[in-house]
Amino acid sequence: MVAAYFLLRGAHNLRRSLNVREWIRNPQAHPDWMVRAGMHCGNAPFLIPTDGFIGFLWDDSFRPGHRHQGIDIFGGTSPGQTPIISAYDGFLTRLPDWKSSLILRIPNDPLQPGRQIWLYYTHLADAEGASFIVPEFPPGTVEVFIKSGTLLGYQGNYSGDPDQPVGVHLHFSIVLDDGKGRFRNELEIRNTLDPSPYLGLPLNAKQNPDIIPTCANAAQPAR
């Protein structure tokens, strides 16, 4: 199953794919690759949302024509073990049919005041779709205010197909508002933002071909 996951990534980001495979096989061998939930890198506004290795970056290409809309953080554990927290204060929604996903509305973008943005979290379920989202946020939750650092759930490997689970990780992205108070379609990169300045890390694939993002490589966020 893991082999199939890496085949989907293809040769377009081979170095990162090999690093992710190595991390999943033996995370204890690479403690220096790890980020920790709740950390601030530099003076970036967002907390790191989970423990693990940031294996795939924003604008990575997994196949021709595809552009990754966020970052993938691999916990190096079994499903349901690695906690995920809120990266910022906001209003949480879980649509009625969402098994593994949550979205957090931030009314005032800390890097562009006056703009509303959304934080999208997914893969919080096991391969069969059993949710790892905490019971406080059941399907149908709408606009519940939470503080940064609030426990949301745990990393999983849900892909929508029980026969093709992904590696255990969190997919995290920053989604633009549609101007009418709703989030845009996260599946299109044009609807998402480069998370680098929000997390203080080199998370843009085109600008970072080979640096493993950790707080040791933190950058100051653009103002």
What is the pLDDT, as a whole number, of residue 217?
A: 77
Amino acid at 160: G
How many angstroms separate the Cα of 7 from the Cα of each of 31, 86, 167? Answer: 26, 31, 12
Res. 223 pLDDT band, cuts 50 70 90: very low
Per cent of the chain over pLDDT 70 is 92
Is 80 exceeded by the pLDDT of residue 3?
Answer: no
What is the pLDDT, as a whole number, of residue 6?
A: 43
What is the pLDDT, as a whole number, of residue 66?
A: 80
CB–CB of 154/123 below 8 Å? no
- Token code pair at residue 68: 């990754």
Report the distance separating Cα 43 and Cα 218, nearest Å: 9
Nearest to 39 by CA among 212, 205, 201, 208: 201
Query: What's the pLDDT tens digit per position in 40-71?
Result: 999 999 999 999 999 999 999 877 778 999 99
Res. 1 pLDDT band, cuts 50 70 90: very low
Mean per-residue pLDDT for 166-180?
Answer: 96
> The pTM is what?
0.91
Q: Mean pLDDT for the chain? A: 91
What is the pLDDT, as a whole number, of residue 219?
A: 62
How many angstroms separate the Cα of 128 from the Cα of each of 3, 107, 125, 138, 215? Answer: 19, 34, 8, 18, 34
Query: What's the pLDDT tens digit per position in 82-116?
Result: 999 999 999 999 999 999 999 999 999 999 999 99
What is the pLDDT, as a whole number, of residue 123?
A: 98
Res. 10 pLDDT band, cuts 50 70 90: very low
Report the distance separating Cα 205 and Cα 146, nearest Å: 31
Higher pLDDT, 91 or 4: 91
Residue recorded with tokens 């933190």: 218
What is the DSSP secondary structure assignment for residue 175, as one 8-state letter? E
What is the pLDDT, as a whole number, of residue 14?
A: 80
What is the pLDDT, as a whole number, of residue 62?
A: 74
Domain boundaries, the chain: 2-217
Query: What's the pLDDT tens digit per position in 17-48?
Result: 899 999 999 999 999 999 999 999 999 999 99
CATH class of the structural domain 2-217: mainly beta
